[in-house]
Amino acid sequence: MSELRRHGSARFMAFGMASLAACRSRDSLPFGPTTTSPQASAEPVPLEHSLARVDDAKESPGVLTREVDGSAEPVAAEGTGLTYDLQWSEGSFAARMGDTSAATLDALRRRSATSLNVVASGSRAALTIAGPRTLFPPGFEMRAQAEHRGYTLVEAAEKRFMEAPDGVWRSLLNDGRLDVSPLRAVAAPDLPAKGPGPSPHERTLTLTTKSATLTLTVAPGGDGQTWGTVVARAFCELAGMSPDGALLADGEWPKRADIQWLSGRTLRFATAAKVARLVEPNEVVAAPTGFHVARRALPLPSSRAFLTQGDFATLRGAAPDGTAGEGSALWLVNRDVAPRVALIEGVPVGWIAGNQSLSLEGLRPGRYAIRWLSPLGELDSGDGVAAAPGVVAMRATASP
């Protein structure tokens, strides 16, 4: 049976975001730019991929059927569960001014650990980002099929789904919106020649544009499944690339992805776990049985802290200016139009939306090293100083 197709631009549902007790956020500040992200003016293009159906067994090796009373019934198929850790380069972390122990800093950094989780079978994959350091909508999955371009955004808990075109991964992770980011065309290197059997060796695939270099460490699977292409395309979009040609051979999958930005900073997705598992059809198909189309827009998320008031109390800064107190509030002000992640003493402490501010409660009085990064790590303000209690504003223009 052919796949269903719904053309038109994507419309998102409203999605609330919980605030932590350690922070207070307020509405757009009266100073600074008030325009929206440049990507906000980009119109989603009509999709050219088809929404999947659970009975697409012929075109989807990952969805099997069996005959029950003369009719086809979907059943679970062999698949893969995969987790990638999202890692900024070491140079992205601010210098220390205080004497907080290395063990405490490491423990606080783990609070903001972020990962890409994949459930895949056959030619289909469902991808989601878990963790606070990105603006990917919580509770959603991006689903796609190797044979087709474009994605379907699925909210399993609410049984809703909506369409998403090519080019949305960068804006989802960097801005929390579904604007279509421009993608630069790149030519994929030729696939290795096929031998008598599957290659037992890993290989490296490198794609380069004027703004980024993407290096994929590709591992053989030996099972002939093609879901690895879906994951590889997502990495390409994050690097602002649209590959022309086949990226991976059947059975291959990306073991690691390294993106080096023009600034020299890097973003890495490194495999943390990979397990074989049975995958139910509704876990990977684009239009799961019993789900309905969502048509409401997703509002912009608000600023939030990654740590609690007790966590902030464990950070130690340099000797305070003035009289010391029990605990101090530090207001972080983002005068740019794009979201930024703030790091205090090398610890990601929260992200601040464009033209918003965020209050960190519980810091000991003193001076702290601060740095502002974009969620993908390609923009970096460099090291600065924040005095608590007080207010610190990000520079209007971060270094590219």
Residue at 31: amino acid letter: F
Question: According to the model, what pLDDT value does residue 28 have?
Answer: 35
Is the pLDDT assigned to residue 92 strictly greater than 60?
Answer: yes
Of all helices (H) and strands (E), which one includes residue 83? strand 77-88
Asked if the model's pLDDT at residue 58 lies above 50, the reply is no
For the cut 90, the answer to whether the pLDDT of residue 19 exceeds it is: no
Residue 297 or 182, more confident: 182
Q: CA 345 to CA 339: how far, in whole Å?
A: 20
Q: Name residue, tokens 């990000």.
A: 394
Domain chopping of the chain, boundaries: 39-94+113-293
- What does the alpha-carbon distance between residue 168 and residue 242 come to, in Å, rounded to a whole number? 12
- Give one word for 254, left, alpha or beta, with left for phi > 0 and alpha for psi -120 to 50: beta
Q: What is the C-alpha to C-alpha distance for residues 190 and 309, in angstroms, rounded to an integer?
A: 53
Sorted by sequence, the CB contacts under 8 Å of residue 330 that are 6+ apart come out as 344, 359, 360, 363, 368, 386, 388, 389, 390, 391, 392
Tell me the pLDDT band of 96, cut-offs 50, 70 and 90. confident
Task: List pLDDT tens digits, range 311-335.
Answer: 999 999 998 865 544 567 899 999 9
How far apart are the C-alpha atoms of 62 and 56, rounded to whole Å? Answer: 9
Give percent of the chain with pLDDT exceeding 70: 75
- Residue 176 pLDDT: 84
Position 198 confidence tier, pLDDT thresholds 50, 70, 90:
low
| 68-89: average pLDDT | 78
Output the average pLDDT for the chain: 79
Residue 105 scores a pLDDT above 90: yes
Structure tokens at 290: 């019993």
Cβ atoms of 305 and 349 within 8 Å: the answer is yes
Phi-psi region of 373 (alpha: psi -120 to 50; beta: other; left: phi over 0): beta
**Measured distance CA(356)–CA(107) in Å, rounded:** 28
Quick check: bond before 220 cis, omega within 30? no
Cα–Cα distance measured from residue 324 to residue 387, given in angstroms and rounded to the nearest whole number: 12
In order of 97, 108, 171, the CA distances from 395 in angstroms are 20, 25, 22
Distance CA 202, CA 381 (A): 37
The amino acid occupying position 14 is A
Checking if the pLDDT of 247 tops 80, the result is yes
204-229: pLDDT as tens digits? 999 999 999 999 999 998 788 999 99
Dihedral Cα 232, 238, 239, 243, nearest 10 deg: 40
Q: pTM, whole model, 2 decimals?
A: 0.79
Q: Looking at the predicted structure, is the pLDDT value of residue 62 above 80?
A: no
Structure tokens at 192: 């290795």
